[in-house]
Amino acid sequence: MACWQQTNIEIHTSGRSTVELSAQVNNVIAQSGIDQGLAHIFLKHTSASLMLCENADPTVLTDMETIMQRLAPDGDPEYQHDYEGDDDMAAHVRSVLTSNDITLPISQGRLNLGTWQGVFLYEHRYRPHRRQLVVTLNGQ
Amino acid sequence: MACWQQTNIEIHTSGRSTVELSAQVNNVIAQSGIDQGLAHIFLKHTSASLMLCENADPTVLTDMETIMQRLAPDGDPEYQHDYEGDDDMAAHVRSVLTSNDITLPISQGRLNLGTWQGVFLYEHRYRPHRRQLVVTLNGQ
Amino acid sequence: MACWQQTNIEIHTSGRSTVELSAQVNNVIAQSGIDQGLAHIFLKHTSASLMLCENADPTVLTDMETIMQRLAPDGDPEYQHDYEGDDDMAAHVRSVLTSNDITLPISQGRLNLGTWQGVFLYEHRYRPHRRQLVVTLNGQ
């Protein structure tokens, strides 16, 4: 029998950095009773994003930040949109280059991720924020 | 009860620019009668794409274009694929860096987007095109 | 009636290059009997990824590689994460800039792709690897 569940999650970030969400999403799946299906994670913001990334060595996330700063520079002189500071437009570009919606397989009642895969919330603003997620589960 | 609906949408673009799709997708959801579930939006092209982005200040989209022109330059001398002009290969790269499939939560019969979030079709070719979308709704 | 099916696929890559998956996913759909719905493709790795791209002219993939090498350089002197060689961190960045989860519409028992669209596995490591995919189908 098909089953739907939608859950809101709030994450408090500490400014530009990553927060791994895998355990929290697995808890929502466990409570749903869904054994096989899909977990859709959606972040309701345009200056933070979601990212699937290696979760074993913290220097991977450091290096990802190095590259993001090159691709979407803070305070670029060509930006017109800078109301909220040097990180404002850079955050929007980073969000577009990563993702705001990720869908992951559920198998045997858990996220079916690779051994070194984690799903992260990536805060792109300098200052701490409260970020809203909608987790939609669908399965049997 | 689970419900499926699949709808084709055609968008006429005016050349390189963005077209917000949020209202049109909400209309499809309203007609389906689905209250809670997921809306999948798919663009059947490789030289235009979909993007979730801030939809309040138009300069965000201007700045996004500035960055895209750096990351995927038009008429780059290293491109081998240039049959259809300077924007041909650049358009394919931009599509890969953004997305062609986006899944969004449906809550209370509408897209559950953040306050400043809009879903855009991003035309990457210089000239106007007719672009085909498939919207697949699944929910209850 | 809603129907779920989950299938594991292993792809052997020959080192940095692309492998088109469209035919293989269509085979899984044909066996499932699903006529309309969604196909979710997930790659369980962080150094290879999925990409929707033009599949007619091979120089598109050559040019994509040219751009990826600029955006995520191999052996960049700023990388801290280089245990497994020059392609290690570059592979993680390329994966984030492309995607590891793609959802595609199923219509009339097949992937409803555009004329020139193909779904590719993109191996980012220099050496051959065995890559694990989970294909989750949901439809009616």
* Amino acid in position C128: P
Distance from C-alpha of C80 to C-alpha of C82, rounded to nearest angstrom: 6
Exposure letters C97-113 (e unless 16+ CB within 10 A, then b): bbbbbbbbbbbeeebbb
Q: Is the pLDDT of residue B121 over 80?
A: yes
pLDDT of residue A1: 60
* A83 close contact with B: CB closer than 8 A: yes
B8, B131 contact by CB (below 8 A) = no
Alpha carbon C43 to chain centroid, angstroms: 7
Nearest beta carbon to residue C60 from set B45, B89, B103: B89
pLDDT of residue C40: 98
> Where does the pLDDT of residue B1 fall: very low under 50, low under 70, confident under 90, or very high at 90 and above?
low
> Where does the pLDDT of residue C102 fall: very low under 50, low under 70, confident under 90, or very high at 90 and above?
very high
pLDDT of residue A2: 66
Nearest beta carbon to residue C112 from set B45, B83, B134: B134
B25, B110 contact by CB (below 8 A) = no
Of C120, C111, C134, C133, the residue nearest C34 (C-alpha): C111
Q: Min CA distance, B55 vs chain C (Å)?
A: 22
* B100 close contact with A: CB closer than 8 A: no
pLDDT of residue B32: 96
pLDDT of residue B2: 66
Average pLDDT of chain C to the nearest whole number: 97
- Domains located in chain A, CATH noted: 3-139 (2.60.120.460)
**Phi and psi at residue C57, to the nearest 5°:** -105, 115
Helix or strand or coil: residue A16? Answer: coil
Q: Is the pLDDT of residue B92 over 70?
A: yes
The answer to whether the CB atoms of B44 and C112 lie below 8 A apart is yes
ipTM for the complex shown: 0.97
pLDDT of residue C124: 98
Q: Which of B75-79's residues contact partners 24+ apart within 8 Å by CB, and which partners?
A: B78/C63, B78/C66, B79/C63, B79/C66
Q: Is the pLDDT of residue A68 over 90?
A: yes
The answer to whether the CB atoms of C4 and A140 lie below 8 A apart is yes
**Cα distances (angstroms) measured from residue C125 to each of C48, C92, C133:** 7, 10, 17
Chain A residues within an 8 Å CB radius of C99: 99
* C102 close contact with B: CB closer than 8 A: yes
The answer to whether the CB atoms of C62 and B40 lie below 8 A apart is no
> Where does the pLDDT of residue A33 fall: very low under 50, low under 70, confident under 90, or very high at 90 and above?
very high
pLDDT of residue B15: 98
